[in-house]
Structure 1
């Protein structure tokens, strides 16, 4: 009984720590689009190229967030 309580506590602590990756992804997405705005403000003629790169950066950053969320769900529901 005591071991089960310890296991559940460790599971919830681990899931909480894994959500830090979601906050980091939020910061990364903000940085990507902030840089896009600055780049377009400096040189509007490169708008299309900068937007393509920003979307790629957004997708890669969001993939990291999804991996972190997947780890959280694995910790909570698979163990």
Structure 2
């Protein structure tokens, strides 16, 4: 059972290292949206929505990493 738990933890860490790169396309999309809004006068409709979708995937994927690192929010009573 410990081997399975260790494998899942390693998988979570590996996936989180890949998920860290999701910030780059999200940043590029939002910057393109801002530049187009000021240069052209209107932005593409899909850029902000797609950036939100990327952020949603990022948040879900990083949940496993936070669990592996014991970094979730804790409340002591």
Q: How would you bin the TM-score normalised by the shorter chain? A: 0.5 to 0.7
Q: 1:28-76: per-residue Cα shift (whole Å, max 9, x none)?
A: 21111121133134312x1xxx275333122111122133134x16x85
Flag structure 1 segments of 5+ consecutive residues without an equivalent: none
List 4+ stretches of structure 1 deviating above 4 A. Answer: none
**2:33–2:48 Cα contact (<8 Å) kept:** no
Counterpart pick for 2:39 among 39, 42, 52:
42
Cα RMSD over matched residues? 2.9
**1:22–1:68 Cα contact (<8 Å) kept:** yes
Quote the offset at 1:21 in angstroms: 4.3
1:1-79 counterparts in 2 under 5 A? 4=2, 6-44=3-41, 46=42, 50=43, 52-70=45-63, 72=64, 76=68
- Mapped to 1, the partners of 2:52 and 2:26 lie a distance apart of 9
Q: Calculate the TM-score normalised by the size of structure 2.
A: 0.60
Q: Calculate the TM-score normalised by the size of structure 1.
A: 0.59
**Higher RCO, Cα 8 Å, sep 6+:** 1
